[in-house]
Structure formats: C-alpha cells, structure tokens
Amino acid sequence: MATGDLALGHERGVLSAQKRVTNDFSINVATVNGSGSQSANSVLLKSIFGMGVPVSGKNLFPSNIAGLPTWYTIRASKDGYVARTRDAEILVALNPETAKQDMLTLPAGGAAIYEESFNLKQYRDDVACYPVPFDKITAAVCPEAKLRKLVRNMVYVGVVAQLLSLDLGVVEAGLKKQFAKKQKVFDLNFGAVKAGFDYAQEKLVKHDPYVIERMNKTTGKIIIDGNAACAMGAVFAGVTVVAWYPITPSTSVVEATTDLLKKFRVTAEGKATFAVVQAEDELAAIGMVLGAGWAGARSMTATSGPGISLMAEFSGLGYFAELPGVIFDVQRSGPSTGMPTRTSQADLLSTAFLSHGDTKHIVLLPGSVKECYELGCAAFDLAERFQTPVFVLTDLDLGMNNWMSDPFAYPEKPLDRGKVLTAADLERLGGFARYRDVDGDAIGWRTLPGTLHPKAAYFTRGSGHNDAAGYTEKPEEYQAIMDRLSRKFENARKAVPAPVVVKNGTSKVGFIAYGTTDFALAESLDQIKREHDVSVDYLRIRAYPFAHEIHDFVASHERVYVVEQDRDAQLASLLKLDLPAEQVTKLRSILHYNGLPLDARTVTEEFVAKEGL
C-alpha cells in the first residue's frame, strides 16, 4: 500500500529526478461556482494551517450565481509568503469546461488530480496524473442524490490530504470547527473526505514531489478575511449606526458587522444599542451615515467603486459641513461595473478628492487583515476628532480572501469622541461659534441635537457659512473657512497612521506601496536580494494625507519605485501632488492592473529590467 512518503521512492521517468518539495507550493482548485466548493477549499486551507504551515487562499470567482468557472488557489509557504504565485504546481480539476486549459497551464513537474472521465493525461506527459472517479466515490458515501454536488468537493479534500501527507486528524478537527453544531452535516462531509483519502491510499501511487510536513509557524495565529476584520474594527470602535447598499466585494463587511452587533450589542431586555439599515442606494446610505454622524452617532457604510461614485455629492457636504462618518471601500476593478469580482487599487484618487469643489479626504490604507481591524477602528476616532468623512480603502483580495494573522489586540485607548460641547459647557461659555478655531487646531467645537441649552443649536448647511454657522457669500468669510479646512487637513498628517519603513541606511533605491501590494513586495524584496544581491528600501503608506516620513523617504533615495495595482499610477500621482518639485522626478512606477492580485515575480522582473540589473 502506497502512502505519500513511500511513493516518493518510485522511479517515474522525468519525475524521478525531482527532489521533495516541502511546504512551498500552490494548489489550484478548478470548480464551477455555486457547487459549494467554498467550504471544501476552506477545510483544505485550514488543514494546512493546522499542520503549522503558513498558508493563504485566493478565490478567483466569476460575477455569477452558479455555473461559471471558479478557481481557488491555496499557497503553502514555509517562508510565510502570501502573495499570489503565477503558477500553481498542483491542479485539482473538477470543472469539465476548463479542465483541458487548466491542465495545459500546469508547470512541468506539476501534479493533476482530476475527474477520471476528463482523461487529462493525454495532454501532458510531464505532469503527475491522478485520475479519480469522483462521482462513483461520492455516490457511495452520499445516498441522497441532491446533496452529491456539494459533498463531491469534500472527496477532493481527502485525495489531496492523502497525497500531500496531511494528518487526517487535523482535517477532521478543521471540519468539526466548520460544521460546529451540525453533527449530521459533519458526518456526511467527513465520510466524503475519508472516502477520498482511502481511495488515494489504495489506488493512487504518489509520484510528485509535493508534501506538507508539520511546522510550528501557525501557533497562536488566526485566519480571517479582511472584510470580517474591518467589521471587528468597526464594532470595537463602538459603531452604532450602519447604513449600506449591497455591492460586491464589500457586502460581507456589513454582514459581519451586523452579526457582531447582534452578538454583543443587545441589552438584557433584548433591545438593540445599534441600528443597521439596508438603504435604497448608496446615495441614501451615505446620507444616513452623515445624518447620524451629525446627530452624534458613530456611523459607517461599506461599498465599492460604483458606490463611491454615488457618494460623491454627499462627501463634499460632509467635508464642507464637517460631518463625521466612516466609509469602507473594498476596491474592485472598474471603470463602471468593470470586473466586480476582481481586485484593484484604482479608487485611490477618486476617494482622496471625492466630490465637487475643493475637497480632500482622509483615506486609510490597511495592508493586512490586522490593519483592517486596527485602521478600521482608528477611522472612527479620526472621523470624530477631525469632524469629517474618513475612507478606509481595502480591496477584494484583502477583503474576500482568508489570511493568516497574529491575533488582534484590544484597543488600548478609550474612544476619542472629538470636540463636543455639553449644556454645562455652554452655560459656562455663554455660547459658542460652530466653525471658529478657538484652539488653534483648525477644528471647531460642535453640539449635538438634543443638547438642552438655548444656545446649543446651530444651522448646518452645505452653502457658504461663516465661523458662527451663519449663511454668507462674503469672499473673506468663505475663504477663511476654506483655509481653515486646509489647515485641518494638514494637521491630519500627524494624526493618521504613520507609514511602515524598512530601510538599511545604504540603499539608494526604494519602493513605495500600499495595501495588498505589500504581499508581493515583501517577497519581491527577498527575490531581488537573493537573485541580484541588491537591497532595496521599502516604505508602505498607510494613510492620506501623507505623513512627513514619506517625504523624507523620497528625499533620502535616488530612485523610488511606486508599485500599485492600477493603470494610471494613482498613488504616484497623489505623491507628485504632495512632494516638493525637485523630488517628483525620482518617482518611477511599476503597475499591475489585470484584475488578478499582484505577484512578486512581476515586480521583480520589472524592477530588474528598469534598474538594468
């Protein structure tokens, strides 16, 4: 009987020369969307995680409910790299429509597990082939015909587990967690996993080099997607009013937020200390957020590019009337509907200046699930402190995929509810002027509706107003407000999350990036060092307006490559607007915008070519 390990010794032509490849490869699972493959993929991912091996998963799915091709890639990386790789060494082919093409794209020396009837062996002789009669195995363990489509995917988990030498007990534990309270569902699914495992053990002879070996690199780590992490950030920031309109890929931000609010924010009497409203569109969603922010509640919405466009008018009002609110933008490929299920970073410029007139917004840029939580939480403090809409830009790759992370820490500081006057304050002060800069920080004091003092009320408007909130069209009064808003924005440079800088002090070349580009850059830096013995410094931006460290970084390098996932070099453009003229020419761009997450090799190749290494 061939176990995975023993089978390695078999002489198999071209494959025999291969060495063992341990904990460093990718698996591509090709299925049809709507077939329930998500839970199987998740179980496999968590099983590798359970083996202590760093792992990441990416779902490449169509904008469709059911019936179109879907690919899920799982990367195991002993070095902890989590970016997409161009090639996946192992293919699980379950979709007849794409099986041939999927097979042809496998790298030489790869392995293919496929439905027997696809007969994929005819296309490649440099790939280890494992035909499996999925339907037959499924039918045997799942008598109920209508469930077979779902259970079938678990069979592949069993086959892969056996071929990669995964511990079946780890798979079982992961599955148990997945179907925590549903014993019957667990039994059915684990039966399918076991059947796949047994089939592989009895009928397949391992003749590929890929194995998972136990490590201890995931101890204490968590696995979570960015949208759920943003939701946690919002809930631990005390969000209270949520208004939204469903849009891929942001929908699960609000779904997760709602689940958490129901869990933690219902009183003993069964009353809600929150309100979640599914609005009629994004215009209404942002209107509700700003109305709630005006009246003193911590409010948020989540959307994607097209929703951001619809929020443009209100964002200008929020900026000029100085209203707090948090907007999560999980970016996807545009323009227009673009590719709704593909990732992008192309909303940066549109959110930074969202609206009409002279408008600029605080934009936070998380680069990991942990930062989705931390910056998601910080956004609410910043919105109330600076009395302005704050945008949190993630993307589909970060938001909808599972990532390994250190656990999130409980916030150390109490909530910063900003500058709000109470009735007692008004009594003491004898009144106030809403938009007057009394503290020199360019932020006025506000009152909330319902403050029981005859001098509490003020008139909020998007039209010209003076510092006492009175209507004005006087040039100097209007300009004074505009200048103060500019000073306020300038002050935000010091308050927003500082960039993360990796610097060795000697390198003349630097990288600048933000968000998910970090996954590829972290790996690319190592590739460049290893393959060309060149050290490159790296600064990861975490917010706009840009902190002074960003200016310093550019100033201290001869060339700076701005790596980003959009066509028009939006981050570089935003930097050019901000940097002194003599620094601008130092910037170079490396751009990626095909809808797939950026991979390290693309960065490395382009950098090497541009640097002439």
Partner 1 sequence: MATATPTPKVNRIGLPILEYRGGKSTLCAGCGHNAISERIIDAMYEMGVQPERVMKMSGIGCSSKSPAYFMSRSHSFNSVHGRMPSVSTGAILANHQMTMIGVSGDGDTASIGMGQFVHLMRRNLPMIYIIEDNGVYGLTKGQFSATADIGSKLKTGVINDLPAIDTCAMAIQLGATFVGRSFSGDKKQLLAMLKAAIAHQGTVMLDVISPCVTFNDHEGSTKSYKFMQENDEPINEIGFVASFDEIDVDYDSGQIFDVQMHDGSNLRLRKLHEDYDPTNKADAVRTLMEAHESNEVLTGVFYIDTQKPTFTDLLNIVDEPLATLPESITRPPKSALDALMHNLQ
112 is a contact residue toward partner 1 (CB under 8 A): no
112-38-50 Cα angle (round to 5): 80
Nearer to partner 1, 385 or 540 (CB): 385
- Give the nearest distance from C-beta 463 to partner 1 in angstroms: 7
Q: Which of 61, 130, 190, 294 binds partner 1 (CB under 8 A)?
A: 294
- Give the nearest distance from C-beta 452 to partner 1 in angstroms: 5
Rounded Cα gap, residues 317 and 462, in angstroms: 5
Q: Which of 114, 314, 445, 546 binds partner 1 (CB under 8 A)?
A: 314
174 is a contact residue toward partner 1 (CB under 8 A): no
Stretch that binds partner 1, among 159-167, 267-275, 329-337, 601-609 (CB under 8 A): 267-275
131 is a contact residue toward partner 1 (CB under 8 A): no
Structure tokens at 214: 């136990």
Query: Among residue numbers 465 through 494, which ones bind partner 1 (CB under 8 A)?
Result: 471
Query: Among residue numbers 392 through 431, which ones bind partner 1 (CB under 8 A)?
Result: 407-408, 410-411, 414-415
SS3 for 321-377, per residue? HCCCEEEEEEECECCCCCECCCCCCCCHHHHHCCCCCCCCCEEECCCCHHHHHHHHH
Q: Which of 54, 110, 293, 307 binds partner 1 (CB under 8 A)?
A: 293
277 is a contact residue toward partner 1 (CB under 8 A): yes
Q: Which helix (H) or strand (E) holds 184?
A: helix 183-203
Using an 8 Å Cβ cutoff, are 90 and 166 in contact? no
Question: Exposed, middle or buried, 22 (CB in 10 Å: 0-12/13-18/19+)?
Answer: middle
Rounded to the nearest 5°, which phi and psi values hold at 235? -70, -40
612 is a contact residue toward partner 1 (CB under 8 A): no
How far, in Å, are 300, 332, 414, 580 from residue 257 at the CA level?
10, 20, 20, 41
Query: Among residue numbers 188 through 247, which ones bind partner 1 (CB under 8 A)?
Result: 220-224, 232, 235-241, 243
313 is a contact residue toward partner 1 (CB under 8 A): yes
- Report which residue type is found at 550: I
Rounded Cα gap, residues 591 and 572, in angstroms: 10
Q: Which of 40, 164, 288, 352 binds partner 1 (CB under 8 A)?
A: 288
Stretch that binds partner 1, among 94-102, 195-203, 311-319, 486-494 (CB under 8 A): 311-319
457 is a contact residue toward partner 1 (CB under 8 A): yes
461 is a contact residue toward partner 1 (CB under 8 A): yes
460 is a contact residue toward partner 1 (CB under 8 A): yes
* 3-state secondary structure at position 410: coil
In which residue are the tokens 């390990």 written? 5
Nearer to partner 1, 197 or 236 (CB): 236
**Does the bond joining 366 to the residue before it have cis omega, within 30 degrees of 0?**
no
Q: Which of 34, 418, 462, 464 binds partner 1 (CB under 8 A)?
A: 462
- Give the nearest distance from C-beta 128 to partner 1 in angstroms: 34
264 is a contact residue toward partner 1 (CB under 8 A): yes
Nearer to partner 1, 219 or 504 (CB): 219
At a CB cut-off of 8 Å and minimum separation 6, what does 301 contact?
A: 242, 243, 244, 245, 254, 282, 285, 286, 288, 289, 311, 325, 326, 327, 328
580 is a contact residue toward partner 1 (CB under 8 A): no
361 is a contact residue toward partner 1 (CB under 8 A): no
Using an 8 Å Cβ cutoff, are 46 and 212 in contact? no
